[in-house]
Amino acid sequence: MSAEIEVRSLEKIFKMGDQVVRALDGVDLIIPAHSFTVIMGPSGSGKSTLLYLVGGLDKPTKGEVLVNGKPVDFTNDINLALYRRKTVGFIFQSFNLVSTMTALENVSFPMWFAGTSRAKRRQRATSLLEQVGLANRAKHKPTELSGGQQQRVAFARAMVNDPPLILADEPTGNLDTTSGQRIMRMLHEYYQQGKTVVVVSHDERMKQFATHVIYLLDGKIVTEQEFQNASSFALLDDEMEEGEQP
Residues lying near another protein in the complex (CB under 8 A) are found at: 52, 55, 57-59, 77-78, 81-82, 84-86, 90, 92, 96, 98, 100-101, 109-110, 112-115, 117-118, 157, 161
Minimum separation from the CB atom of position 181 to another protein (A): 25
Answer yes or no: are the C-beta atoms of 95 and 130 closer than 8 Å: no
> Quick one: 82 or 135, whose CB is closer to another protein?
82
For the stretch 54-60, contacts whose Cβ atoms lie closer than 8 Å and that sit 24 or more positions apart, written own/partner, are 54/5, 54/7, 54/167, 54/198, 55/84, 55/88, 55/90, 55/167, 56/80, 56/83, 56/84, 56/88, 57/84, 57/90, 58/12, 60/10, 60/11, 60/12, 60/24
Q: How far is the CB of 228 from another protein (least distance, A)?
A: 33
Is-contact 3 193, C-beta < 8 A? no
In whole angstroms, how close is the CB of 61 to another protein at the nearest point?
13
Amino acid identity of residue 174, one-letter, is N
Which one, 41 or 89, has the nearer CB to another protein? 89
Please identify, using beta-carbon distances, which residue of 9 and 100 lies nearer to another protein.
100
Residue 19 Cβ, how far from another protein at the closest point, in Å? 18
Expressed in percent and rounded to 5, the helix, strand and coil fractions of the chain are 40, 25, 35
State the minimum distance, in angstroms, from the CB of residue 52 to another protein. 5
Nearer to another protein (CB atom), residue 41 or residue 55:
55
Of 200 and 213, the one with the shorter C-beta distance to another protein is: 200
